[in-house]
Structure 1
Amino acid sequence: MNADLRPFSLPLSDPFETARGTIERRDGFLLRLEADSGDPADGDRPDASVGVGEATPLPGWTEHHDECEAALRNAAETINREADSEPDADAPLADLGETPAARHALDLALADLRASREGVPLYRHLGASNRVETVPVNATVGDAGAEETLEEAKRAANAGFECLKVKVGARPVSADVERIEAVSDALPGIELRADANGAWTRTQAQQFLDAMGDKLSYVEQPVPATDLASLAALSGPVALDETLAAVALEDALDADPHAVVLKPMALGGPRKAVELAEQAREADVLPVVTTTVDGAVARTAAVHVAAAIPEHAACGLATATMLESDLGPDIAPVADGRAVVPQGDGNGTADTWGYHD
């Protein structure tokens, strides 16, 4: 097996703010693996010998860009050094535990290659037993006054979205309650979620949950990521997002959440994301797949991850429009509130290696 690495830089359509500052571009790496042709006698397709993975680090969720690059270069050197032998292809993953974005690239490239050899879509390789044509996705409604929030929500509903995630936490709790109530009253058939990004105290979060009643499916990350005591004490449906970047899933589940938000890029790859989704289901917790505003390779893989999870919840996968340019064509487009699941072999993005938008 041989490995090649290529950097990329994707400008965003509009900058967005994070706790660590403004982000204007998504910089990362594509990892391409090329293996000897498979053996048809083993059911492999002899021409399916390429897998492509993506690492798009986002500090706060993953390692920094330079740490990601160093980890990927070390992994590629290891793979290339042993190219003429028959090493365990998964072995380099063990050295990437502290660099989840780099691990995501290798894990995805391996899964893409293997699914292609099997002649199945990636989601089937990840464990789905049935064909899945589409998965539901949510629209995100940004912070604004009640009137502007309602108008944005109506536009999303008119575009076919049946689930909306409303950003909260930047205004007084009473103002956010007013915003959600305006949307709930005007669009009674729409599933509503709120996302506070850890902005509230326990008291504020409980005030919001009490005011919302059954108008919300859940509020995402109402208090800071590591405040597990407050998360466990809250009465009402809560989803954990940033917490999963701070603690292990089993510790997060002790807070008895309603849902967990799974970002394959931050978790170390599509196979890890599916594994954690299964653990969440076993604990009767809803897994929701989303991205870290990734390029087409990782975003498509996240769609496959969502398709591999039974009883698909609406996922945060409608992020392609956040990029001004991309790694390749969008083969998992969103229409009428659903993302198309590619049915070709593997992830379906191997040709992005030579693509220029």
Structure 2
Amino acid sequence: MRQARIYHYTLPVNAGLFVRDQPLTEREGLVVELSEGAQRGWGEVAPLPGFSQETFAEARHALIAATAVWCDHRNIAMPQLPPSVAWGLSIAQAELDKRLPTQSGFRHVPVCTGDPDALLVTLGQQPAGQPYEAKIKVGEYEVARDRLMIATMLEALPDLRLRLDANRRWQPEQLASFWNGLSEAHQARIHWIEEPCRDPNQSLVQAQALGYPLAWDESLIDSQNMALLENDRVSTWVIKPSLLGDLATIEQWVSRAHALGKTAVISSALETSLGLTQLSRLADWLTPGVVPGLDTLGIYQHQLDRTWPGASQPLIPLHDQPLVWINTL
């Protein structure tokens, strides 16, 4: 016998958070709980404003309909579902079926959004044996400031390697100025620059001209040009499951990246602690040699149902959230 419940959560986020230049004051999402016999699995469905193709209302409607299909023992047409819904249902099914490993190292790369001193403190608290690396957001300030911050950190920490994310903020000439202004020794310690220009074609042209390592993130979602995505100058695919689709689709993206000799990185789309712990388990399973990009829990004032090790925010149980749907027997 199959049973299911769908919960609706709304969690406040810390002040000052902007997504695609729009303020975000709370995170709204759904959690589906699937039960079959003694087994249960959970999945988070939370479209990310400014990134997801579906709205929250569309995701809710699709999730209720698809969950009813699951309860009726019929096959769900995953490719026809909004990506966030397909992801949430499929990871819940994988947890129920025990396909998703239960163990995780809960690794993540710390993110710096403008305070290098805070990042230095965080790096000093990293677990032994974890690669000494960090992610830095660039492009929000003038190029000279970003370049000075990067160079200063690399000089201060000789073992540090960096992932840079420009969120498509740079013009091609700004990207060239930034990269050419770094020493070759510092360039060699940049893992990649993620989505530097608004136009992905300009990012690729500059990668070919300058030789910097290019990573795709948003382009995996909004570009259908596989020649662009798979180009040899692209070193890394940053994979956000809830923006791309179900678990089978994510496995295909990871396998394709590996077949092309590229790095595949599992990354968050501002999931709650429930979703982040699942992404951590997924990363240990599909990309065990790469530390995932999951350092986003700090935006929240609370954790949801599952705790991230070492996180200080108080925990809110899932069953305290409003129940929006339950199948009737």
TM-score range, shorter chain: 0.7 to 0.9
What is the rounded CA distance, in whole Å, between the counterparts of 2:288 and 2:202 in structure 1? 30
Contact 1:260 1:280 in 2 (8 A): yes
CA-CA distance at 1:297 after TM superposition: 2.4
Aligned to 1:142: 113
Mapped pair 1:219 → 2:179? no
Percent identical residues? 22
How many matched pairs? 303
CA-CA distance at 1:334 after TM superposition: 5.6
CA offsets per residue over residues 299-353 of structure 1, 9 Å max, x none? 11110121012442222112223211122131x4269xxxxxxxxxxxxxxx964
Flag the 1:230–1:196 CA change in 2: closer, same or farther, 3 A: closer
Flag the 1:280–1:208 CA change in 2: closer, same or farther, 3 A: same
AA paired with 2:15?
D
In structure 1, which of residues 60, 65, 84 is the aligned counterpart of residue 50 of structure 2?
60
What is the rounded CA distance, in whole Å, between the counterparts of 2:3 and 2:77 in structure 1? 13
Q: Which runs of 4+ in 1 moved over 3 A?
A: 248-251
Contact 2:48 2:270 in 1 (8 A): no
In the TM superposition, 1:138-217 aligns within 5 A as: 138-143=109-114, 148-149=115-116, 151-160=117-126, 162-212=132-182, 213-217=187-191
Aligned to 1:109: 92
Aligned to 1:293: 270
Contact 2:8 2:30 in 1 (8 A): yes
Mapped pair 1:245 → 2:245? no
What is the rounded CA distance, in whole Å, between the counterparts of 1:2 and 1:278 in structure 2? 33
Q: Normalised by the size of structure 1, how large is the TM-score?
A: 0.78
What is the rounded CA distance, in whole Å, between the counterparts of 1:72 and 1:249 in structure 2? 29
CA RMSD, Structure 1 to Structure 2 (Å): 2.4
AA paired with 1:283?
L
Unmatched 5+ residue regions in structure 2?
322-329
Contact 1:274 1:305 in 2 (8 A): no
CA-CA distance at 1:274 after TM superposition: 2.9
CA-CA distance at 1:215 after TM superposition: 3.5
Contact 1:136 1:313 in 2 (8 A): no
Unmatched 5+ residue regions in structure 1?
38-46, 125-131, 336-350
Flag the 1:182–1:304 CA change in 2: closer, same or farther, 3 A: same
CA-CA distance at 1:14 after TM superposition: 3.4
What is the rounded CA distance, in whole Å, between the counterparts of 2:79 and 2:213 in structure 1? 35
What is the rounded CA distance, in whole Å, between the counterparts of 1:95 and 1:209 in structure 2? 42
Aligned to 1:95: 80
Q: Normalised by the size of structure 2, how large is the TM-score?
A: 0.84
